[in-house]
Amino acid sequence: MELYKRYREAVFEKLQRAFRQEKEICIAAKWIANTITNQGWIYTSGTGHSHMLSEEIFYRAGGFARVIPILDPDLMLHKDASGSTEVERREGYAKKLFKPYNLSSKDVFIISSNSGRNAVSIEMAQLAQEKGAKVIVITNYNHTKQVESRHSSGLKLFQVSDIFLDTFGEIGDAAIEIEGLRTKVGATSTVVGAALLNAIMVEAAAICMKNGIEPEVFNSSNSDEGEQYNEALIKKYKSEVKIL
């Protein structure tokens, strides 16, 4: 079998396992629907490559308008990739990130981390819970249970969540071995995490509609009718979501 086909099968298998988390998907969707109904906010964050899952549900065609991503350049890859690895381990850094935001019990906080071991993600979840927000975690449970926490509490991210969803990834994320190559290739956390997030959002939108609430959802700005609709949402929320 060609290696790309082996990767395809690995992704399909992980997606099937991920979507068996029906209880967790439905609970997360219910919390998000309640947030939308009560005019709360969906906050989201992630460090390293996991920040892409925050962007996946922000300002996205088919995505809710009331999303606030916490995207810190020092925790992402475009500024200093290796430096971001050091920053995500700093205790106390999360408190600095939270200063501009006013989370409340009306909100949910979605945080993604493949390893779930680093201080910034753990402390962000703790701070969100202190504010009364529901914390939904996307993580690789297989990996996280095999490593030590890098936080002084000894806790890992899934342990400070209200609910967590497993991406069923490999230890180290990459899934495919190639003879003679020292490390595996083909990470799976992003594709599975994005699928789970979108599934939760779809279910949340359905719950809202069932309850008579039409959620504000971005259209494609590349469609003729979508741009005008999106401009109205941007105008409405630009003061609260500065990066819109």
- pLDDT, one tens digit per residue, over 1-39 is 799 999 999 999 999 999 999 999 999 999 999 999 999
Q: Pick left, alpha or beta for residue 163 (phi over 0 → left; psi -120 to 50 → alpha; otherwise beta).
A: beta
Q: Which domain holds residue 135?
A: 3-237
Distance of CA 83 to the CA centre of its chain: 21
Is residue 242 in a domain? no
Tell me if the pTM is above 0.85: yes
For 40-54, the three-class secondary structure string (H helix, E strand, C coil) is CCEEEEECHHHHHHH
Q: If DSSP codes are grouped into helix, strand and coil, which group holds residue 135? A: strand
Answer yes or no: is 243 within a domain.
no
CATH code of the domain covering residue 215: 3.40.50.10490
Angle, CA 192 vertex, CA 226 and CA 25 arms, to 5°:
80
**Per-residue pLDDT reduced to its tens digit, 62-108:** 999 999 999 999 999 999 999 999 999 999 999 999 999 999 999 99
pLDDT the model gives residue 75: 93
Residue 244 lies in a domain: no
| 35 contacts 209 by C-beta, under 8 angstroms | no
- Does the residue 89 lie in any domain? yes
Is the predicted pLDDT of residue 227 greater than 90, yes or no? no
Query: Is residue 105 in some structural domain?
Result: yes
